[in-house]
Amino acid sequence: MKTIKIKNSEVAEALKRVQETANAELADPKIAYAVAKTLELLEREAKAIEAACEPPKAFVKDRDELVKKHAERDDKGKMKTQTVGPNRVIHVIANQRAYDEEFETLRTKHNIAEFEQKTEDFLATEADFEFYPIPLKKDECPWKQPKLLANVLRFAAE
């Protein structure tokens, strides 16, 4: 195992790139194993970071109630939704101004500005990350993008 410093905010991007590498055709089982083990470690780390950055449950509950209260409804009383991105659906709010005012009160009640600042600080923190080194000599390249892992995790193949 090797250790590097990586910011918590960089883990998701590193995970994405290692997943791309894991999907590449790797000619050597030792390399495939090292990539798979590093991927497993990054997945676990990303999941822990995501959980740590979740807003407080009481705030989420109150926010959901606020959305239910202000959501525009169809003829059957079901809350209307709108797609705003490839994987993002939001509820349509009937009176945005009233919602925004109550939402700001809710943010103050739950001290969300402080939570967001602490989350930002946490994501900017560098932490030690242990990974499985790739057993390569500098002139070996078992896949088409030779420096992919080096670029992602800031280490050179050995």
Whole-number pLDDT of residue 158: 36
Whole-number pLDDT of residue 64: 96
Closest by alpha carbon to 46, among 3, 4, 9, 2? 9
Whole-number pLDDT of residue 156: 35
Q: Report phi then psi at 65, rounded to 5.
A: -65, -40
| pLDDT reading at 132 higher than 90 | no
Average pLDDT over residues 126-131: 85
Angle at CA of residue 66, ends 57 and 79, nearest 5°: 110
Whole-number pLDDT of residue 157: 38
State the chain's mean pLDDT as an integer: 84
Dihedral sign for Cα 23, 28, 32, 35, please: negative
